Amino acid sequence: MDELTGLVIAVALVRPSKKIADVDVAAVKKKWKDKAFARGVHREQIVKGAEELGVPLDEHIVNVIEALKASAGVLGL
């Protein structure tokens, strides 16, 4: 699992519904700022990955959220 996937799943798990469908970029960015939240996630690696893909960070987050939504049933999210 990559860093961003882990962060997005962690955000989903602290939502009242525990559903990936209730996660958006704003929720991820809010938790991103809290260094104590998912402290094992290396945020600089996420930024570097987005840069290497040539996409803005917000777009990268959306892409990961959408990919996880497609597998929500399998993931139990």
In the chain, % of residues over pLDDT 90: 86
Query: Using CB atoms within 10 A of its CB, is residue 33 exposed (0-12), middle (13-18) or buried (19+)?
Result: exposed
The residue that leads in pLDDT, 59 or 73, is 59
Sequence-ordered list of residues with C-beta below 8 angstroms from that of 52, at least 6 positions apart, any chain = none
**Tokens 């892409």 map to which residue?**
63
- The pLDDT value recorded for residue 75 is 87
- At 76, the pLDDT band (50, 70, 90 cuts) reads confident
Sequence spans of domains, the chain: 3-75
- At 1, the pLDDT band (50, 70, 90 cuts) reads low
Digit-coded pLDDT (tens) for 27-64:
999 999 998 999 899 999 999 999 999 999 999 999 99
The CA–CA distances, whole Å, from 16 to 22, 42, 54, 75 equal 9, 25, 34, 17
